[in-house]
Structure 1
Amino acid sequence: MDVRGAWGKLGRGAVPHPLICHVLDTAVVAEGLVGVLVGPHCRAELEAGFGPLGDAAGWVSVLCGLHDLGKLSPAFQGLRQDVAVPALGPVAGADVGRLARWRDSGARTDCHHGLLTAVHLARLLRSWGAVPATARSVAWALGGHHGLVPSAAAVQQAREAVGDNGGPRWAAACDELVGRVVSLWGLPQPDELPWQEVRLSPEAVVALAGLASVSDWIASARPETSYAGLDVDLSAYLAQARVDEARKIEKLAWRPWRAPRETGFAALFPGEAQPRPLQVAVESVVAGMRGPGIVVVAAPTGEGKTKAALQAVAQLVRRLGLQGFYAAMPSRVTSNQAFETVEELLEEADVPVRLLHSTAGEYLKGRAAAVDPAAALRPVGVDVDGEGDGDGQAAQWFAHKRGLLAPVGVGTVDQALMAALRSSHVFVRLTGLSGKVVVFDEVHGYDVHMSTLMDRLLWWLGRMRVPVVVLSATLPSRRQQALVESWLAGAQGRRPGTQAAVAAAPGVYPRVVWADESCDAVQVVDVAASELNSGRVVELSRVAFAERAQWALRQAGEGRCVAVVQNLVRHAEEAYEQILQLVEALPQGERPEVFLLHGQLEEARRARVEAEILARFGPPDPGREQVRPARAIVVGTKLLEEGLDVDFDVMISSLAPIDSLIQRMGRIQRHQRDSDRPGLLLALTGVEEEAQKVTFPSYTTNVHAEAVLLRTWAVLRGRTQVRCPDEVQQLVDLVYGPQEAVVCPRGWEWQWERAAAQLQRSIAGREEKAEGVRLPQPRDDVQLWELTARATRASRTRQDSYRRDGGWQ
């Protein structure tokens, strides 16, 4: 059988692209992509694993090319009998024709070519001397290039399906094709090499699978007019493929970010004033790390955590030879803001920044239209998640997801957490993160489901030696410890929780906690707050829920900008309507401006409101005059808590978990302004104490766990003020600490115990659901097929309803 006779790609015409040509295309792409897509540690693991063969890089490339070896089978060639039978010759053509007749009779002959790839590669590798574990790992990784790694049972079934795989005659043809590819590549004959010495770590196998899939997608981007045909000169074809495929890679603009030589904070952000203490501390910590590690930054809003993280990223990228970074933000709004900051940082670098979230296209188009109205009519690429299998669907998935694979990206945390789900192509996501620093912002806002996925993702990132920077304003100490332990366990190749970690000293806040791969103990750095956040004393008052609109209007009448933060959209809309009615009764000159912002607004309207609120209440910009209203009321939900860099003179907030309330306090007089401002004031509403019972507005406990609200109120009800940042960590650790840390007020016992039991059931149920969809529990003998076993949709990174009950997770 002529190895050029089997078709690999075939359009509507009769001219095929031979399978061996597609093998060479993919191998060439893998050769050019490995240094861009695969991170240094995973690349080193591949080189070490295949090192005994001599040319490790050459074998990795060729093996990636052989991902479609299973197409050399009656099952696949018979999909186009009209082309296959004349090209393959009478004997092989008879096998194809026989299978076609079985199909006509209704017999099931749908053995996927990926399974047949696994069959043939496992057989070949064993014949070359590879140990069974290595043969399985390589064969399964390449056979799963369409997203789902085959199980041993599925491969065994494909091995026994002689009608589909063609038996010994077609196996010999596969051997001939492999031998021809190896010869064209200039490698020694494989049966002369010490394959018995090849051992691959889990991260090496993941990288091989990810590299093969992405290389296949890029190589498959070939117009039908360029198909080589059956009489192709293979040596000449390979030489031209090296030119053509290099152009494809170049068009992707996957150029690594070369961080500047000077990565100090002052050099990266020359327009900033003197670096804040936190930023100085982060720079010093990262400079002292001996290798990849995890850095957890806990500090109030306004301390410059995002820019401190970007400075750390620049240091790590340059020192560790990484390709770039991914900034995982809690929401689309914060993603858009971080995107602007990152673009400014990389303004001089010839590296595009990709924005990844569900409405990225609309945002980018709107931003472009503000500068050039005609831009609104031009299409914009959108990086959103997709599903798919098969060549066409996989190519579409790649078109959507290549932003995650690009060296520099900013987007929602969901895009990163998808790499912790048992889902199609999860190994591609892990490979895409392997060469980056990953930044997670606002991690205190994750629910139990997200936190469970986060822990597992951190283990895999530690295993792949991916540096991580975690940012939070209100992270419980126990949760911080769990995050650091997850990364360290991965880096040290052990199960989480098998080695005691050192928690931060009680009450230390702000702080930087860090550990690198060689650390014996977690390090804690106590950091002074900046002048902006030092000695902030927030006065607390109480307002009945039915009177919140009147309170806000009275404050606005004093010439203040007021925030009204509600836990539910319906409560925000209700307060907004009440305020509008009260405003209409005022003389025209005394009416405050009133805004409404929540996540259920129509997308275009929400974008306009966000832009206007940022313009009116955002940080002062020396380059332009800010038109801050003389009096205003902004009614909103959680978006005002963490989505926008804005500040107000005073605030009224529904009772929420303590970490949310502290976040909201951070929006009170967050920025320095020239005008005189009142003392810091937070009015609490949405909680009433009756006889032996605490009540909250309707549906509040659908959003926030009742036990968390009760513990928060038990801690705050006797207070008249909160000292920030001095008391922040103490308050957070009280509410989210051991059950006995907060004493149940007299008369609440029944409600307190019922709510606590309900919370524990909820946490257990959510953990169980998350455990069912996340990557397998790490262990030394973890098999690649387990990463996609019982695969779920890649979008299942959040629960259907959002509940802030993750503090005890």
Structure 2
Amino acid sequence: MLEICARLGLSSGEMARLGVLWGKSAEKGGGTMSLLLCHMLDTAAVAEFMFDRFLAPATRDMLDRVSGGRGRRFFAWLCGMHDCGKATPAFQRKSGAEAAALAGVGLGWRAAIVTAEVSRQWSHDKAGAFLLRQALKASGRWERRHVDWVCPMVSGHHGTLRGATMKDIAHAQGDAHGKTAEWRRVQELVVEVFTAALGFESLADAQPVAVPARAEQLGLLGMVVMADWIASDSTRFPGVPDLAQVSLAGARRRAAAAWEERRLGGGLRRLRPTDGCDVIELRFGHGARASQALAVDVVRAMKVPGLVFLEAPMGEGKTKTALAAAEVVAERFGLSGVFVGMPTQATADPMFTQVRAWAAAADPGSEDDVVLLHGKRAFNPEWKAIQAGDWSTADARFRAVQEDAPDACCVSRQGPADWFLGPKRGLLAHLTVGTIDQLLYAATRTRHVMLRTAGLSGKVVILDEVHACDVYMSQFLKEALHWLGQARVPVLLLSATLPPGQRAELASAYMSGATGTTDETELPVPGGYPNVTAVWPGMPAPVVVHAPTWREDLPVRVKVVPEPPVRRGKSASDRDQEQPVIDLLTRELAEGGVALVIRNTVKRAQRTYRELAAAFPGERVILHGQLTTSARADRTEHLLDQLGPSAAPRPERLILVATQVAEQSFDIDADLIVTDIAPIDLLLQRIGRVHRHTATKRPGHLRRPTVYVTALGSRSDLPPTFERGAEYIYGRHLLLRTAATVVEAEKSGGWAIPSQVPRLVSAVYGADEVVPDGWADAAEQAREEWAAEQERRRQAAAPFLLSRPGERVLPHLDGLHYAATDASTEDHLAATVRDGDMSIEVVLVLQDPDGYRTLDGRRLGPGGAPPSDALGSLAGDMMRLPQRLTSTAIDHLAPLPGWSEHAWLRRTRALVLDTARTAHVGDYVLTYDPETGLTYTPAA
């Protein structure tokens, strides 16, 4: 560094001042202070390793395009420059031990003015943006457009991008920023010397040649944060207090050691071209079905990254199609990973196994990098085995998926790098599987959102079951698609079927980012099913094609099961309410068989389950969200063993009573289904569980699939009445239109599934009249109410979206966080993107006169302190409370005193049950039954 200073003609006094500016205090530098230039060079060196071994080829190409072919050096410069604002009194005052040395070389300040409060107001990220802006303008060559997009790379590296204020300008002109000539000069030198150390002839020489898209800027900022966080690890980057010992070569040596120790590279680095190959057969061991081959052909024809819809019936193999298509897209466009977003944590778990198996076949060794992203991953057996180094469980699950994949390699022995398992870092891993929430969070105006954008850059994004997004969630999905389109991230959307309007809205959102226009994307209605729809910039017209399904249509009979009317002031008894279903199942299952009963609410499912006890003792099981983690997981696994694709032996007679948890990504096969009314697309999803597997042997009278629809009472001349839970959840508009199609199907003999699925969904979600004349007035009123509610929910999402109205046309990021949301934890974020009150998780604990114990009877220590062999039981005894109980739980529940020493327990509330498994919490009485789950009633 001294050589560079001499080459630049610095005086001894100027070098002395550079030699006292600190970047990491002794406390944060491993016991030794680290000079500011040292930390900046450390960060730049980390950025070089990121460029070489971490960034996707597409991201490197973007940096080369922006910088005029100097992408690696420019990226290192961007990352290292992040802390230049530490060259101010407001920051330097924070280490009292260094104040004397600073004053001794003429860098003092008035302590009465530069206070701790001023330091908080004039943080070094803000100061750095002002400092860099002044330096770039002074260089004489930097254009305004480049100054405007580069400076937020400094101002936003602490996670927020706020616009400048008059107070900021005042600080930049005052003591906090350093208004003496000595301070102004040393600030210039920090920028100048660092720039020269990276090999630029001058600061003017570092100017880029193009402005990246706004989404690309946000991704770059996320990479700046990543480089800073890695270089801030004092155990791998200890302090260097002597300017003579500071050099880029030394920083590179430190970064190399840290990089190898952290194992931060990886991803899909060795993908082979698959042109002319059957990728499905290559990866999964069987020839591609017509719909799978069609989808792969479509993505092979794409000229640039775009958006692809894969719509196919349940069991068609959409997951394999998406992974094969993702491999083709990644190889063609220089991408290094995937993000697979699933609707729930439960559906993400099996996808984790499938993605690892696919990755092992596509790029042997990359399965090490797959990260499972959801709050319950610690309880996933395969993830747990990988983290613990117990490969017996992981190997079995992994090989079960791999057994038909001829190119699969041996099972890895490392797992993903630990660094990616920290807070907010998960999406940065190259291969990630989680809930769709992880993507939706990237569309919120929250702190460190740039890390999520960076994590999605250079990937193929796959989202499954997108039809499950309601109008509120869809606002975040559309916002995310806009940014992904602008970032040139290809997206594959999977669904059994989508309403035409929703498909067009999602396509328009993506193309608005990809093309920079606000024109609506018009999509032709697919002419058949399964089908593939694709859009990308520059294409003459959307691609909309279809293929025959691999299986014949199921002729599904549709029947309505009327329920007893509920009169004002008087309700039918539980037995009377359930008697029609009891009679139905008694008749239909007289010779055996498996029935799936889906209710819209937990309370209704519990009632059905209880009332079936007398007629079907020992032949029924219940599954819903108000069971403990272990109970739900055990039941799900057992049901998949009994009713899954390789089930043997199948129960002679069984009734599964479930809520919407059985609606999607649940590969079980029932002989008949009884389901509450739901909007047509969801109703068809439920029907996908009947006669799902062709090899299943069934009782003779159940060989024709039948769906019985409940929760509505109907007469053709009067509009139907709906069960209150159904109407509360789904609204009357779609239920009326769905009910009309159900009644018509009962008259006509049923539906042909899957060929009629698109027509049915289009009819219910379309504008044409589908209800009988006698329902018309009620239907119109319901439509108006529904439209008003949809608009209300759209407006409710707007304050949390990443872009504010009119902001998308801005060329830079300054002011992005004009009003950041308060969401901080995963629970808060989930509530933000799902339009609900925050729900919380609790651990259920029993208390008796002798103290606390787990639900399975393991005794806990004083204050509930868990012995090591009880931690697993406590983890399994967790559950998420209904949203209605959230505020009550926050006010009345807390961790047990003995949990203070345990990382996850000390942040988790305990629901303490007495020996009758009951607790009084605020105005509610809660009871947990191991068989039926949690119930709650108002306290007397």
Q: Into which bin does the TM-score normalised by the smaller protein fall?
A: 0.7 to 0.9
Report how many residues are paired.
756
Corresponding position of 2:133: 122
Query: Secondary structure, in 3 states, of the residue corresponding to 1:226?
Result: coil
Which residue in the other structure is 2:24 paired with?
A: 9
Q: Which amino acid aligns with 1:419?
A: A
Instruction: Provide TM-score, normalisation by structure 2.
Output: 0.76
Report the TM-score, using the length of structure 1 for normalisation.
Answer: 0.88
How far apart are the structure 2 equivalents of 1:436 and 1:196?
25
Task: Provide the residue aligned with 1:785 in structure 2.
Answer: 814
Which of 336, 339, 344 matches 1:326? 339
The 1-side partners of 2:383 and 2:513 are apart by 42
Match of 2:590 in 1: 557
User: In the alignment, which of 47, 51, 59 is matched to residue 64 of structure 2?
Assistant: 47
C-alpha separation in 1, matches of 2:34 and 2:231: 12
User: In structure 2, what is the Cα distance between the partners aligned to 1:225 and 1:291?
Assistant: 41
Distance 1:697 1:500, change over 3 A: closer
Query: Do the aligned partners of residues 420 and 108 (structure 1) sit closer, same or farther apart at CA in structure 2, a change above 3 Å counting?
Result: closer
**Which structure ranks higher in relative contact order (CA pairs < 8 Å, sequence separation ≥ 6)?**
1
Q: Mark the CA change 1:744 to 1:27 in structure 2 (over 3 Å): closer, same or farther.
A: same
Map 1:752-771 onto structure 2 (within 5 A): 752-771=779-798
Please state how far the C-alpha of 1:195 moved relative to its aligned partner. Answer: 3.9
Distance 1:343 1:504, change over 3 A: same
Picking from 82, 87, 92, the partner of 1:77 is 92
Q: 1:343 aligns with which of 356, 373, 378?
A: 356
Residues 154, 581 of structure 1: CA spacing in aligned structure 2 closer, same or farther, 3 A cutoff?
A: farther
The residue identity in structure 1 corresponding to 2:613 is L
Correspondent of 1:731 among 749, 757, 760: 760
**Which runs of 5 or more structure 1 residues have no equivalent in the other structure?**
377-394, 585-590, 803-809
1:797 is matched with which residue: 826, 833, 839? 833
Give the distance between the partners of 1:147 and 1:431, measured in 2 at CA.
13
Q: Are residues 1:523 and 2:523 paired? A: no
1:212 to 216, 219, 224: 224
Matched, 1:360 2:377: yes
Instruction: Say if 2:66 and 2:212, in contact at 8 Å, map to a contact too.
Output: yes
Q: CA 1:765–1:254 in structure 2 vs 1: closer, same or farther (change >3 Å)?
A: farther
Matched, 1:742 2:769: yes
Percent of residue pairs bearing the same amino acid type: 30
Q: Deviations over 1:376-422 (max 9, x none)?
A: 9xxxxxxxxxxxxxxxxxx9998223221111111100101111111
Looking at structure 2, the residues matched to 268 and 100 of structure 1 have their Cα atoms a distance apart, in angstroms, of 71
Counterpart CA distance in 1 for 2:779 and 2:639 is 39
Deviation at 1:59, TM superposition (A): 2.6
Determine helix, strand or coil for the equivalent of 1:513. Answer: strand
Q: 2:480 aligns with which of 454, 457, 466?
A: 457
Tell me the residue number matched to 1:388. none
**What is the rounded CA distance, in whole Å, between the counterparts of 2:657 and 2:118 in structure 1?**
65
What is the alpha-carbon distance in structure 1 between the residues aligned to residue 742 and residue 71 of structure 2? 62
Structure 1 residues 660 and 421: CA distance shift in structure 2, 3 A: same
CA distance in 1, matches of 2:118, 2:428: 41
Name the residue aligned to 2:415: none
Asked if the contact 1:50/1:199 (under 8 Å) is kept, the reply is: no
Q: CA deviation at 1:271?
A: 3.2
Q: CA deviation at 1:156?
A: 4.2
What secondary structure, in the 3-state scheme, does the structure 2 residue paired with 1:564 have?
strand
- Post-superposition offset of 1:369: 9.7
Counterpart pick for 2:559 among 518, 538, 541? 541
Whole-angstrom distance in 1 between the partners of 2:319 and 2:307: 16
- CA deviation after TM superposition for structure 1 residue 226, in Å: 2.1
Q: Confirm or deny: 8 A CA contact 2:271 2:331 kept in the other structure.
A: yes
Change (3 A) 1:766 1:169: farther
Cα displacement (A) at 1:342: 0.9
Determine if the alignment matches structure 1 residue 661 to structure 2 residue 683: yes
Is 223-232 or 660-669 further displaced after alignment?
223-232
Cα distance in structure 2, aligned partners of 1:325 and 1:746: 50
- What is the SS of the residue equivalent to 2:100? helix
Residues 90-115 of structure 1 deviation map (CA, whole Å, 9 limit, x = unaligned): 521x31xx2366538x8786311110
CA contact (8 A) 2:161 2:813 kept: yes
1:386 — aligned with what? none
Looking at structure 2, the residues matched to 405 and 530 of structure 1 have their Cα atoms a distance apart, in angstroms, of 37
Counterpart position of 1:228: 240
2:66 aligned partner, one-letter code: G
Unaligned runs of 5+ in 2: 1-15, 394-417, 564-576, 824-828, 839-940
The residue that corresponds to 2:282 in the other structure is: 268
Of the three residues 24, 37, 40, the one matched with 1:20 is 37
CA deviation vs aligned residue, 1:486-545 (integer Å, no higher than 9, x gap): 2223222212xx15523224x5222111123331210111210112xx221100112234
2:615 aligned with 1:604: no
Cα deviation for residue 374 of structure 1 reads: 11
Please tell me whether the aligned partners of residues 67 and 145 of structure 1 are also in contact (alpha carbons under 8 angstroms): yes
User: In 2, distance between residues paired with 1:42 and 1:55?
Assistant: 13
Q: Residues of 1 paired with 2:208 and 2:711: CA distance?
A: 69
Aligned to 1:380: none
> Which stretch has the larger CA shift, 23-32 or 541-550?
541-550
Displacement of 1:37: 5.2
**Aligned equivalent of 1:683:** 708
Distance in 2, matches of 1:705 and 1:37, equals 47
Residue identity opposite 1:81 in structure 2:
G
Kindly state the Cα deviation for residue 790 of structure 1 after the two structures are TM-superposed.
1.4
Shift of 1:172: 1.3
2:764–2:770 contact (8 Å) kept in structure 1? no
Q: For 1:448, give the aligned amino acid.
A: V
Give the corresponding residue for 2:150: 138
The 8 Å contact of residues 18 and 230 in structure 1, kept in 2 or not, is answered as yes
Does the Cα contact within 8 Å between 2:467 and 2:495 map onto a contact in 1? Answer: yes
Contact 2:83 2:125 in 1 (8 A): yes
Aligned-pair distance for 1:608? 0.8
Tell me how far 1:147 sits from its aligned partner: 0.6
Matches within 5 A, 1:412-423: 412-423=435-446
Query: Could you say which residue in structure 2 is the equivalent of 1:613?
Result: 639
Equivalent residues in 2 for 1:690-701 (5 A)?
A: 692-701=718-727
User: Structure 2 vs 1, CA of residues 760 and 118 (structure 1 numbering), >3 Å: closer, same or farther?
Assistant: same
SS at match of 2:534: strand
Tell whether the 8 Å contact from 2:670 to 2:689 is kept in structure 1 after alignment: yes
Mapped partners of 2:782, 2:837: distance in 1: 18
Q: Which residue of 1 aligns with 2:250?
A: 240
Structure with the largest fraction of helix = 1
| 1:742–1:324 distance in 2 versus 1, CA, 3 Å | same
In structure 1, C-alpha distance between the alignment counterparts of 2:499 and 2:678, rounded to whole Å = 16
Q: Partner amino acid for 1:799?
A: D
SS in 1 for 2:625: coil
| Segment of structure 1 superposing worse, 566-575 or 29-38 | 29-38
Q: What amino acid is aligned across from residue 312 of structure 2 in structure 1? A: A
Q: Deviations over 1:179-202 (max 9, x none)?
A: 2222222221224x3849554432
Relative to structure 1, the CA distance from residue 89 to residue 337 in structure 2 (aligned partners, 3 Å threshold; closer, same or farther) is same
Question: Match for 2:78 among 63, 84, 89?
Answer: 63
Q: Which residue does 1:294 correspond to in 2?
A: 307
Match in the other structure for 2:522: 501
- Aligned 8 A contact 2:425 2:451 in 1: no
Distance 1:343 1:373 in 2: 17
Instruction: Answer yes or no: is the 8 Å Cα contact 1:125–1:135 preserved in 2.
Output: yes
> Matches of residues 438-453 of structure 1 in structure 2 within 5 Å?
438-453=461-476
Tell me how far 1:637 sits from its aligned partner. 1.0
User: Does structure 1 residue 189 correspond to structure 2 residue 202?
Assistant: yes
Q: Deviations over 1:271-317 (max 9, x none)?
A: 33x32211111122122222212211111101000000000011111
Tell me the secondary structure at the aligned position of residue 585 of structure 2: helix
Per the alignment, in what secondary structure is the counterpart of residue 49 of structure 2? helix
- Out of 415, 426, 433, the position equivalent to 1:403 is 426
Taking the aligned partners of 2:696 and 2:148, their CA distance within structure 1 comes to 69
Q: Secondary structure at the match of 2:778?
A: helix
Distance 1:151 1:275 in 2: 53
